Amino acid sequence: MLGLNKRDTSFLLIVILLTISTPFLMQPFAENSPLAQFNGGYPDLMAKVAIFGIFAMGFNILFGLTGYLSFGHAAFLGVGSYAAVWMFKLLTLNVLPAVILAVIMSGLFSLLIGWISLRRSGIYFSILTLAMAEMSYRLAYSVLTPLTNGETGLQVRPNDPRILDSATSANYPNLFGLELSSSYHWKVLGHDFTFNVGFYFCAVIAIIAFYISMRIFRSPFGMMLRAVKSNQQRMSYTGLNPRPYTLAAFVISGMYAGLAGGLLAAMDPLAGAERMQWTVGGEVVIMTILGGAGTLLGPVLGAGAIKYLENIFSKINENVLHDWFSFLPDSIQDGVVWFFSRFTGEGWALTLGLMFMLVVTFLPGGLVEGGKRIMGLFKRKPKGDGDDPEHHPHSTPHVAE
């Protein structure tokens, strides 16, 4: 189906099913349950998981396949956001033209940055991309104020021209009149499931982006990118120039980042220079490594895990902790609450850092490797498996597997 073999088709269908079921998966506890604190089935978080999943997917095409580590992808995320908001202000609040313009502008910008940065490799490439991102952030914050509105950021206002919209058009980013902010609530068995238009729009785009990523991974182009990562010098000896492949991967990755930026602007119609900070570029690196660099589903899992921790753990303040440990004597309770408050609320990043250290140390392949290990525990080894007294050679796996 769609150029995929049977195994990949089944995998894609599972991903589609899980994506559609996100409102149920992220709202497992009843509203009156003590564990309702850990529910994440609200539109903002679900949309962010889909959007940053796209961001991480694109970064994985560059880093996971070619091994080129970029710290500057936040610049493309910011360019996509600015392009989308300008489309909202000047032409129309329909999200499709805004998203298309975001992809085009980020692709052109990544072509320029990639053409400069890919003249070097290794740590020098990483430093160049970091420098480019920081310059982009500074330009957006100061020099390019007429285009970016500097510190305040670019916002959609009622008096914007929007020459393609009529007087009766929606006043919020919409999909042919259907506002992305609208939601349907289904209350059943103490649960409140939210089905948001914006989330499902982002989810459909994420599924398409995942399919394209899968086709790239399974294509001859993807194998050439793996060759670049494996041994670029040996590849050059065969007469192949690796630079066009790495530049193409860089541009595709930048377009994914711009797509994510455009979707961020669609869900929240503003764009600020903070989206271009180097910390945002570092965040997508952590997402990819945490989930499993070089795998198809890993970056999405990493993005989901980080955004979930950011939204859920940051809400757990000292009052919540006091409620949890109210069964303890006051003298002990204060100490316990003080300790756990270092890892929640404003200190949630410490929890993320510890988790990242544990994963890198014990699961170098990320969450995907952890899932494979758990699945391996439940698989019975066939009798006689591995017994080969005559030492027959095993078939070589396909390079794209």
Residue boundaries of the structural domains of the chain? 6-11+39-278
Is a pLDDT exceeding 90 seen at residue 105? yes
- Give the separation between CA 218 and CA 398, rounded to whole angstroms: 10
Q: What is the gyration radius of the CA atoms in the chain, in angstroms?
A: 23
pTM of the model: 0.90
pLDDT tens-digit map of 308-360? 888 888 888 888 888 888 888 888 888 888 888 888 887 888 888 888 888 88
Give yes or no for a contact between 256 and 77, defined as CB atoms under 8 angstroms apart: no
Where is average pLDDT lowest: 71-85, 225-239, 249-263, 377-391? 377-391
List residues bridging with 154 in a β-sheet: 271
Give yes or no for a contact between 251 and 110, defined as CB atoms under 8 angstroms apart: yes
Tokens of 191: 């649960």
- Give the separation between CA 389 and CA 326, rounded to whole angstroms: 64
Is a pLDDT exceeding 70 seen at residue 60? yes
Is a pLDDT exceeding 90 seen at residue 13? yes
Q: What is the DSSP letter of 189?
A: T
Q: Which of 44, 60, 73, 69 is nearest to 266 (CA)?
A: 44
Tokens of 289: 């490594």
DSSP line for 71-130: S-HHHHHHHHHHHHHHHHHHT-SBHHHHHHHHHHHHHHHHHHHHHHHTTS-THHHHHHHH
- Give the separation between CA 304 and CA 206, rounded to whole angstroms: 13
Q: Which residue has the higher pLDDT, 137 or 233?
A: 137
Expressed in percent and rounded to 5, the helix, strand and coil fractions of the chain are 65, 5, 30
Give yes or no for a contact between 250 and 67, defined as CB atoms under 8 angstroms apart: no
* Interstrand relation of 178-179 and 191-196 (parallel, antiparallel or unpaired): unpaired
Give yes or no for a contact between 338 and 321, defined as CB atoms under 8 angstroms apart: no
Q: What's the pLDDT score for residue 392?
A: 52
